Structure 1
Amino acid sequence: MRDDLGRRGQRPVGAITRGTTNPNRLRRVDRWIAGPLAARWRSVADPLVVDLGYGASPVTAVELLARLRTVRPDVEVVGLEIDPARVADALPLAGPGLTFALGGFEVPLPRGRRPVVVRAFNVLRQYDESEVATAWATVRGRLAEGGVLVDGTCDEVGRRSTWVAVDRERGPVSLTLSMRLRGLDRPSDVAERLPKVLIHRNVPGERVHGFLSALDDAWAREAPMAGFGARQRFLATVHRVAEAGWPVLDGPARWRLGEVGVAWDAVAPGG
């Protein structure tokens, strides 16, 4: 099926994932979609969001709808899977604002509708890095004007999570790191959950390695802040890397959550 990547046909575009999922696994990215990203979809005429590749259980699509409805009650979520059995298993949970359908990167939707957000989590990690650009381009071609693909990866319980925001018009615009601060040894521990486009780039000479190293250095230098709690230490850490010139995003309200975004150009592959 990977030979079909980027071409529309009768079969869904993509390959079946392992399907691993757990309740609350995607809470970190959900609260970002409902937070900083909400300006993208809060006022659109058709607030349609796609959970692409939700896995063996539709729980993440159910949770996504509940979280986004705190921002806009009429938001709709469509869960897409390329495994017909997974779609059949999810159908009993369908209801007002929540549907499930067969589909992949081609994002098939009825009546020519286009999503303003597509969340694809733990999907591309099972592909080759060389396939990422084509997958991104395929999804971008299906987004509504101003739409965003959120391509990310997290651990099994959602304590470490990262994602790239891919704009319909501009391509990738940011990388976000989000981690549970309690018990954190160093920020670069999140590196094992980098999106596929970056996970093999965490080596000296690559920009993402430089950013993670800067976070680690700042975290070590802010060790005296640990007495005030991990949140205060991380807040001071991000302030320090911002002062060093890294284009960090979103502000202290997000940093206190163990979350930091950075402009894509600062971490893009290529050294």
Structure 2
Amino acid sequence: MGYALGGLLRAAPAPPVVVDLGFGASPVTVLELADRLRRVRPDVRLVGIEIDPDRVARGLDLADPPAVDFVLGGFEVPLPSSLGVGAQPTVVRAFNVLRQYAEPEVAPAWEQVVDRLAPGGVLVEGTCDELGRLATWVDVRRGTDGRPEPRSLTLSLRLAGMESPSVVAERLPKALIHRNLPGERVHTFLTALDAAWARSAPMASYGARQRFVASARALREEGWPVHGGVSRWRLGELTVDWSAVAPG
């Protein structure tokens, strides 16, 4: 997922629950996520949720409750009884779930999921291509008023062979994909990122990673609220405050 969950999981009460919402045709993504997160928090519990009964059935063939389990459901985020009464997820990952929905349905879906989160929990909602070479996601928390509060947008790109960073526009989350138009903040941001990438062309002789690092630094120097540092930028990941890209 490329998302910095380590600190959040380490601070969570035992055992933290992580949900892969809409895990897709194969339950393998849930098992892979479990393997990765156990390196950070060995007692983590993974739950795969799908609205397709056949997909849930395939997952249950591989389940190992309460460590890894699968249930039928959607944005209401049901959790299996094996986790106990009152269990709440610390993290809900929802990738490629809202692509088929209309834009006005995004906020209600966020609200349903956020309402189920444990205190301090996060919804990671985004989109990626089939090979995971292009991805974007929004960090959504529960605001002080109890409503969803998007905090940031992250872009994740495979840098090798990339012509321009704005290629990721085709994988923007549903809340933004129809907003990549002149006059919208996300369009202005991607245009600025492309311009920084173009100006950093001399760094290409040192590799695409160094060029992207230079591009991220240039954006920050221009005043864009870019998060992180070299360790994330070298991976092709760039995070910016939601306020910088939010629909106008």
Q: Same fold (TM over 0.5)?
A: yes
* Residue of structure 1 in register with 2:77 after alignment: 107
Distance in 2, Cα, partners of 1:84 & 1:125? 20
Equivalenced residue count is 238
Distance in 2, Cα, partners of 1:52 & 1:219? 34
* Residue of structure 2 in register with 1:159 after alignment: 133
Q: Tell me if structure 1 keeps the 8 A contact 2:153–2:241.
A: yes
Distance in 2, Cα, partners of 1:194 & 1:85? 29
Give the Å deviation of 1:252: 1.2
Instruction: Say if 2:220 is the partner of 1:242.
Output: yes
Distance in 2, Cα, partners of 1:37 & 1:239? 24
Distance in 2, Cα, partners of 1:239 & 1:228? 16
* Residue of structure 2 in register with 1:44 after alignment: 12
Q: What SS class does the counterpart of residue 93 from structure 1 fall into? A: coil
Q: Tell me if structure 2 keeps the 8 A contact 1:231–1:257.
A: yes
AA of the residue aligned to 2:137: W
* Residue of structure 1 in register with 2:68 after alignment: 98
Distance in 1, Cα, partners of 2:6 & 2:76? 24
Q: Tell me if structure 2 keeps the 8 A contact 1:152–1:194.
A: yes
AA of the residue aligned to 2:210: Q
Aligned pair partner of 2:53 in 60, 71, 84: 84
Give the Å deviation of 1:251: 1.4
Q: What SS class does the counterpart of residue 219 from structure 2 fall into? A: helix
Aligned pair partner of 1:60 in 17, 29, 32: 29
Instruction: Say if 2:246 is the partner of 1:268.
Output: yes
* Residue of structure 2 in register with 1:6 after alignment: none
Distance in 2, Cα, partners of 1:91 & 1:48? 17
Give the Å deviation of 1:71: 0.6
User: After TM superposition, where is structure 1 displaced by more than 2 Å over at least 4 residues in a row?
Assistant: none
Q: What SS class does the counterpart of residue 163 from structure 2 fall into? A: coil
AA of the residue aligned to 2:189: F
Q: Tell me if structure 2 keeps the 8 A contact 1:149–1:168.
A: no
Give the Å deviation of 1:263: 0.5
* Residue of structure 2 in register with 1:125 after alignment: 99
Q: Tell me if structure 2 keeps the 8 A contact 1:165–1:174.
A: yes
* Greater Cα offset, 170-179 or 36-45: 36-45
Give the Å deviation of 1:145: 0.2
Provide, for residues 161-181 of structure 1, a one-character-per-residue CA deviation record: whole Å limited to 9, x for no partner: 000010122610000000000
AA of the residue aligned to 2:21: L
AA of the residue aligned to 2:111: A
More relative contact order, 1 or 2 (CA 8 Å, 6+ apart): 1
Instruction: Say if 2:229 is the partner of 1:251.
Output: yes
TM-score, length basis structure 2: 0.94
Distance in 2, Cα, partners of 1:259 & 1:99? 30
TM-score, length basis structure 1: 0.86
Distance in 2, Cα, partners of 1:233 & 1:208? 22
Provide, for residues 148-193 of structure 1, a one-character-per-residue CA deviation record: whole Å limited to 9, x for no partner: 0000100010000000010122610000000000000000000000
**Aligned-residue CA RMSD (Å):** 0.9
Q: Tell me if structure 2 keeps the 8 A contact 1:79–1:99.
A: yes
Give the Å deviation of 1:38: 2.0
Provide, for residues 29-68 of structure 1, a one-character-per-residue CA deviation record: whole Å limited to 9, x for no partner: 2x31xxx232122121131000000111111101110111
Q: What SS class does the counterpart of residue 158 from structure 1 fall into? A: coil
Provide, for residues 115-150 of structure 1, a one-character-per-residue CA deviation record: whole Å limited to 9, x for no partner: 000000000011000000000000000000001000
AA of the residue aligned to 1:234: F
* Residue of structure 1 in register with 2:38 after alignment: 69
Distance in 2, Cα, partners of 1:235 & 1:241? 10
Mark the runs of 5 or more structure 2 residues left unpaired by the alignment: none
